[in-house]
Amino acid sequence: MTKSKGKHFIKTFGCQMNVYDSERMGEALAEAGYVSTDTPETADLVILNTCHIREKAAEKVYSELGRLKQIKIAREELGQGTTIAVAGCVAQAEGREILSRAPVVDLVVGPQSYHRLGDLITRTGSERGGIIDIDFPEDDKFKHLPVRTAGARAPSAFLTVQEGCDKFCTFCVVPYTRGVEYSRPVDEIVEEALRLVKAGVSEITLLGQNVNAYHGDDASGAPRSLAELLRALAEIPELQRLRYTTSHPRDMSDDLIALHGDEEKLMPYLHLPFQAGSDRILAAMNRKHTRAEYQQLVQRIRGARPDIALSTDIIVGFPGETDEEFARTMEVVKEVEFAQAYSFKYSPRPGTPASAMDDQVPEEVKSSRLQQLQAVLKTQQEAFNQSCVGRKFSVLMERPGRRAGQLVGRSPYLQAVHADGDQSLIGRMIEVEIISAGPNSLEADIVETANSAVIAAE
């Protein structure tokens, strides 16, 4: 057994890929002799796993570092040391600048170096000044991370299958922070999925910045598509549900669309960003698709799986966007009808082509467009949730709810579903009937379990 090195606390910002990375960092730290703790006040090592996608996300890191500085000082007075590390995309993008803006930081580590975390932390103890590791190594970090531990897990897990992006949308920092596209080999992914399943996982969401551009090698070295990877994973008997995110419209291949109609384990939910409705703006964004192409794609996907719930990302106020052009975005939203959506004001990111464009849109205009857009999106989400009332779903129960006796799970369409039931149902697929819908979740009655005696009495 490794001797305990102390306690770690990881705070995660940003997307699901960071959630996955934080989990893997936690596992690497466990192997290096750390145990986790729930508060930074009790931690010998604090890691902020950061996001750089929009300015607000990046700024949050610095305010968090301000708070951590106070905690570090308070702990010092008690004779306790605190190592502070900044990981993730802010680390990658800002590197040394973090150390000059926040000298409280001991270590800056980019997303490609997490397998070296244990060693890097040890070095912070002996070297003066902060340590920086933001290289893009040739080596596959996944191979060097410890295998997924078989300890108890939530029933739904993320699994990163692809990282980086070669699309270079002009507004986006991802190609700079996460580097070029890389797909993990099929066998490595299947093996990780088997370990997750063994630990009690029955739903896996495959992650990638451009997940449907996946083209990892199989055992013979031949590239396989995301559809082929999903098919291979669907063969794992105990794995009941599969999802994937985030997709680019250009990479929605015919075999992937067809799979939505053929493969029962593939859930009827798809996150497919369209960003803007005007063809001129789409071209300026370098999205390489038109509004009509997006709409035709939606039709084809709905042809394969009529009940699919569509989700999207939308940016308002991209440089040069006129009221007319924004109206095109609203039209697409009204035509497609999304079950869910994320919408953002355009935020200039250092080093991206769009940040250097002349005609930046004033903040008030962005705010007013976002308000209009979000009002429509909210109505659509509510309408979709309402349309589920009276239907019967299979829900994967994930955790206890806030109220005693309540459980929370996910519908096939990724909505949160609350139902009263015994805690022993957590981790199981349960038949429910939806009895009411709110803007962000559904209420349900359990209608059937393998052992109906376990339903909690009212």
User: What are the residues binding ligand 5AD (CB under 6 A)?
Assistant: 53-54, 171-172, 273, 275, 313, 315, 344, 346-347, 349
State the minimum distance, in angstroms, from the CB of residue 273 to ligand 5AD: 4
Is residue 444 part of the contact set for ligand SF4 (CB under 6 A)? no
Is residue 172 part of the contact set for ligand SF4 (CB under 6 A)? yes
Amino acid, res. 293: E
State the minimum distance, in angstroms, from the CB of residue 305 to ligand 5AD: 22
CB 418 within 8 A of CB 376: no
Is residue 177 part of the contact set for ligand SF4 (CB under 6 A)? no
State the minimum distance, in angstroms, from the CB of residue 159 to ligand 5AD: 19
Binding part of the chain for ligand SF4, among 44-52, 98-106, 171-179, 217-225 by CB under 6 A, reads 171-179
For the chain, give the number of residues.
458
Residue 283: closest CA among 245, 241, 325, 230: 325
Q: Say which entry of ligand 5AD, ligand SF4, none residue 209 contacts (CB below 5 to 8 A, set by partner kind).
A: ligand SF4
Binding part of the chain for ligand SF4, among 39-47, 166-174, 383-391, 430-438 by CB under 6 A, reads 166-174
Nearer to ligand 5AD, 213 or 434 (CB): 213
Is residue 289 part of the contact set for ligand SF4 (CB under 6 A)? no
Is residue 342 part of the contact set for ligand SF4 (CB under 6 A)? no
Is residue 174 part of the contact set for ligand SF4 (CB under 6 A)? yes
* CA 352/CA 169 separation, integer angstroms: 9
Q: Say which entry of ligand 5AD, ligand SF4, none residue 155 contacts (CB below 5 to 8 A, set by partner kind).
A: none
Is residue 165 part of the contact set for ligand SF4 (CB under 6 A)? yes
Contact code string over 193-212 relative to ligand SF4, x by CB under 6 A: ----------------xx--
Is residue 169 part of the contact set for ligand SF4 (CB under 6 A)? yes
CB 190 within 8 A of CB 233: yes
Q: Say which entry of ligand 5AD, ligand SF4, none residue 168 contacts (CB below 5 to 8 A, set by partner kind).
A: ligand SF4
Among 175, 185, 216, 268, binds ligand SF4 (CB under 6 A): 175
- Site size with ligand SF4, rule: CB under 6 A: 10
3-state SS track over the chain: CCCCCEEEEEEECCCHHHHHHHHHHHHHHHHCCEEECCCHHHCCEEEEEECCCCHHHHHHHHHHHHHHHHHHHHHHHCCCCCEEEEEHHHHHHHCHHHHHHCCCCCEEECCCCHHHHHHHHHHHHHCCCCEEECCCCCCCHHHHCCCCCCCCCCCEEEEECEECCCCCCCCCCHHHHCCCCEECCHHHHHHHHHHHHHCCCCEEEEECCCHHHCCCECCCCCECCHHHHHHHHHCCCCCCEEEEECCCHHHCCHHHHHHHHHCCCECCEEECCCECCCHHHHHHCCCCCCHHHHHHHHHHHHHHCCCCEEEEEEEECCCCCCHHHHHHHHHHHHHHCCCEEEEEECCCCCCCHHHHCCCCCCHHHHHHHHHHHHHHHHHHHHHHHHCCCCCEEEEEEEEECCCCCEEEEECCCCCEEEEECCHHHCCCEEEEEEEEECCCEEEEEEEECCCHHHCCCC
Q: Say which entry of ligand SF4, ligand 5AD, none residue 393 contacts (CB below 5 to 8 A, set by partner kind).
A: none
| Tokens read off for 438 | 């709110």
Is residue 167 part of the contact set for ligand SF4 (CB under 6 A)? yes
Q: Say which entry of ligand SF4, ligand 5AD, none residue 318 contacts (CB below 5 to 8 A, set by partner kind).
A: none
Nearer to ligand 5AD, 29 or 354 (CB): 354
Is residue 168 part of the contact set for ligand SF4 (CB under 6 A)? yes
Q: Say which entry of ligand SF4, ligand 5AD, none residue 53 contacts (CB below 5 to 8 A, set by partner kind).
A: ligand 5AD
CB 184 within 8 A of CB 224: no
Q: Say which entry of ligand 5AD, ligand SF4, none residue 346 contacts (CB below 5 to 8 A, set by partner kind).
A: ligand 5AD
Residue 388: closest CA among 440, 343, 427: 440
Contact code string over 239-268 relative to ligand SF4, x by CB under 6 A: ---------x--------------------
Q: Say which entry of ligand 5AD, ligand SF4, none residue 167 contacts (CB below 5 to 8 A, set by partner kind).
A: ligand SF4
Binding part of the chain for ligand SF4, among 78-86, 172-180, 194-202, 233-241 by CB under 6 A, reads 172-180
| Chain residues that interact with ligand SF4, rule: CB under 6 A | 165, 167-169, 172, 174-175, 209-210, 248
